């Protein structure tokens, strides 16, 4: 049995943007997700992937309220393929439809502590399942 579930941990590349779509609203944001590794010569390498995400209605409003560019976040959702035609050309784009997200913060560094890079969950939001929406 297969399921369409994706779990991503990254940082917002831009502030979330919300727009109305009929009687609904959609909030779009981008994530930068980095993978760090050691090369054969011993030097460190990094690959970064950029992923577009969308959250609908109540979930989108929560994204808009709680997240901003640079924030760390864990997103759970499903893959969605958007397809459209423009000027006779067919286009498609794979994106993530947000189901849940957890905002990740950083602890403040105190004088007697070296925990400045310890992730701390500051908000976990379950986004209710919406009916299928189309962006047009």
- Domain formed by 6-126, architecture: Beta Barrel (2.40)
User: Exposed e or buried b for every residue in 90-115, given b needs 16+ CB within 10 A?
Assistant: eeeeebbbbbebbbbeeeeeeeeeee
Q: What is the mean pLDDT of the chain?
A: 84
Q: What is the pLDDT of residue 1?
A: 58
Query: What tens digit of pLDDT does each residue of 45-104 get?
Result: 999 999 999 999 999 999 999 999 999 999 999 999 999 999 999 999 999 999 999 998
Q: CB-based contacts of 34: which residues, under 8 Å, 6+ apart?
A: 10, 46, 47, 48, 49
H or E element: which one contains 65? helix 57-66
pTM of the model: 0.76
The domain locations on the chain are 6-126
């Amino acid at each position: 049995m297969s399921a369409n579930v994706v779990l991503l941990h990254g940082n917002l590349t831009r502030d979330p943007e919300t727009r109305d779509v009929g009687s609904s609203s959609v909030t779009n944001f981008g994530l930068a997700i980095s993978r760090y590794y050691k090369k054969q010569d011993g030097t460190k390498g990094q690959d970064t992937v950029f992923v577009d995400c969308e959250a609908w209605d109540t979930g989108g409003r929560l994204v808009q309220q709680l997240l901003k560019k640079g924030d760390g976040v864990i997103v759970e959702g499903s893959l969605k393929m958007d397809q459209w035609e423009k000027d006779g050309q067919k286009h498609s784009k794979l994106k993530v439809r947000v189901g849940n997200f957890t905002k990740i913060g950083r602890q403040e560094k105190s004088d007697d502590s070296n925990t400045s890079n310890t992730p701390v969950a500051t908000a976990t939001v379950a986004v209710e399942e919406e009916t299928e929406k189309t962006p047009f």
